[in-house]
Amino acid sequence: MSSDRLFYLPLGGAGEIGMNCYVYGYGPRDQERLIVVDLGVTFPDMDTTPGVDLILPDITWLEERRDRIDGVFITHAHEDHVGAVGHLWSRLQAPIFARAFTANIARRKLDEHGVPENEVVLCNAWPEQITAGPFQVGFVPVAHSIPETSALVIDTPGGRLLHTGDFKLDRSPVVGEPWDPDVFKAIGQSGVKALICDSTNVFSPEAGRSEAAIGLAIEELVQGHAGMVVATTFASNIARVKTLAEAGIRAGRSVCLLGRAMRRMVEAGVQSAVLTDFPKTVTAEDAADIPAENLMLIVTGSQGERRAASAQLSRGKYLGLQMGEGDLFLFSSKTIPGNERGVISIMNAFSEMGVDVVDDTGGKYHVSGHANRPDLQMVHKLVSPQMVIPMHGEHRHLREHVKLAEGGGFAGVLAPNGTVVELQGNAPRIAEYVETSRTYYDGNAYVGAFDGVIRDRIRMALNGHVTVTVIIDEEGDVLGDPWCELMGLPERGSSNAALVDVLEEDLGQFLGRADDKTIRDSDKLDEALRRIARKTTQTELGKKAEVTVVVSRLA
């Protein structure tokens, strides 16, 4: 027994917001049985991952140990916790455990990849527990911004762990279960070795507010507006969607949900019985015949996504619906850092249409789904664990959360992705670091973050591209002139001659002078031609273009 170890290993989510993937291990060293908590995704951006569709955790470490995995536990149905199950299940082939609503969403994702739905095992809420190898796992209902979110009690022979998942201290979350401090206290009273705890809002100084607090403000806003009212929020925030819909109905309007993701979420809520009294809605087709002043649309695209309903409406008619002068658009959501440009561009497009835009700047129409700084302190105290391990946050959030825990008298440990933290002693011990990375889902291919593919795309975006072709004849002599094609480069540079001509001239001069040995050596010739093309673009344009060289040798 003394040789058994209990460890925590984040593969995603610790050092970033999104892409949650955590591993717990218990057993003799290198034979530990494993469970995985969450398999989430994160989203690409043009700066670092142009063209990529989704970013998944690199699960190489897990795949190499897949015979030791006793289960994958999904805390809730947000994309950054469940989004990768469809993509990665076949490489792990371990059973997935989730509560009904989360399972509904997970099964839809698995189905898209041809995985049968019985790979997802439906779980009841705490105090029931599921046995998975040496682990006993219970789903403890917490409030968040999506139904049936759960913290996990993970009982092991090495002690009890409490993995909070995402949560907030909301006693009236509109949809989903309220925060119940007594349950957390009781869990803590049996002795918690480690509290592994959400960190995203550690810099928010005030206690969090309840979802119920904004219903009235939204209702007043809708009531007070004569024209069409359109509101957007995160599709998965069913509570908010319901708050918005009810405000619309009370204001005497017909309500229409626009956007596949939103309709799918509401459908999953009804199917899994977490959503029982959602107001009646009309289809987009019917909505098109309803006068603007009697209509409220609730739409996807709160983050400015180009293809979502918000962006479509900002560009003009969408599914027969069109906004205009005197209408109102409400962002009942926070803009996630990095998405500002897309959101602002939609705001300005609406402004050009004469649509009034209201955002959550004043905090009246949105509340966060995460525990703020004082909320975290309260949870530390309630659970009173031996140690606090901050998870789900950028490095700065994790670091601040460690300080916060230590300030409250708890041992804390800063454990970014790849850190193996042993928990069997009285204090956390960093045992080792494993390599972690990301996998890019690009079109329908999977690309490693270090494969160089995306690096080359970024380089082409910054520097443009030149194709250089040269033909060598049967005697090993250069046939004709080199030929160049440009993409993403100006036609003329500083000499004011056509850039293609300058390139072909410079390359031709080099080939005219080159000795037989250089011409015969393919690698050397390629490299020399590339170097000249880069040098010429540097001289002409002030930047070195990316170059593809094709030397054809006639046999």
Identified binder of its own copies from the candidate list 28, 29, 46, 189, rule CB under 8 A: 46
Cis amide prior to 291 (ω within 30 degrees) = no
| Angle in degrees, CA 115, 121, 127, rounded to 5 | 160
CB of 156 to its own copies, least distance (A): 31
* Rounded Cα gap, residues 73 and 96, in angstroms: 6
The yes or no reply on residue 501 touching its own copies (CB under 8 A) is no
**Binding track over 374-413 against its own copies, x by CB under 8 A:** --------------------xxx--x--------------
Coil, helix or strand for 459? helix
The yes or no reply on residue 124 touching its own copies (CB under 8 A) is no
Q: Which residues between 210 and 249 bind its own copies (CB under 8 A)? A: none
* Rounded Cα gap, residues 332 and 237, in angstroms: 10
Identified binder of its own copies from the candidate list 461, 498, 500, 514, rule CB under 8 A: 461
The yes or no reply on residue 427 touching its own copies (CB under 8 A) is no
Q: Segment contacting its own copies (CB under 8 A): 35-43, 61-69, 250-258, 486-494?
A: 486-494
CB of 478 to its own copies, least distance (A): 12
* Rounded Cα gap, residues 439 and 450, in angstroms: 9
For residue 406, what are the CA distances in angstroms to 213, 374, 375, 377, 390?
32, 14, 15, 10, 11
Phi and psi at 418, nearest 5°, equal 95, -5
DSSP state of 211: G
The yes or no reply on residue 480 touching its own copies (CB under 8 A) is yes
Q: How many residues form the binding site for its own copies (CB under 8 A)? A: 66
Tell me which residue has tokens 């009294």.
277
Residue with smaller CB distance to its own copies, 51 or 279: 51
Q: Segment contacting its own copies (CB under 8 A): 68-76, 160-168, 491-499, 507-515?
A: 491-499
DSSP state of 212: G
Coil, helix or strand for 348? helix
**Binding track over 332-361 against its own copies, x by CB under 8 A:** -----xx-xx--x--xx-xxx-x--x---x
Tell me which residue has tokens 């005197």.
326
CB of 316 to its own copies, least distance (A): 16
Cis amide prior to 127 (ω within 30 degrees) = yes
The yes or no reply on residue 454 touching its own copies (CB under 8 A) is yes
Task: Please give the sequence-ordered ranges of beta strands (E in DSSP) within 48-125, or none if there are none.
Answer: 54-57, 69-73, 96-98, 120-122
Inter-residue contact 421 to 389 (CB < 8 Å)? yes
Q: Which residues lie near its own copies (CB under 8 A)? A: 15, 45-47, 50-51, 203, 337-338, 340-341, 344, 347-348, 350-352, 354, 357, 361, 394-396, 399, 442-447, 451, 453-454, 456-458, 460-465, 467, 469, 471, 479-480, 483, 485, 487-490, 492-494, 540-543, 546, 548, 550, 552, 554-555
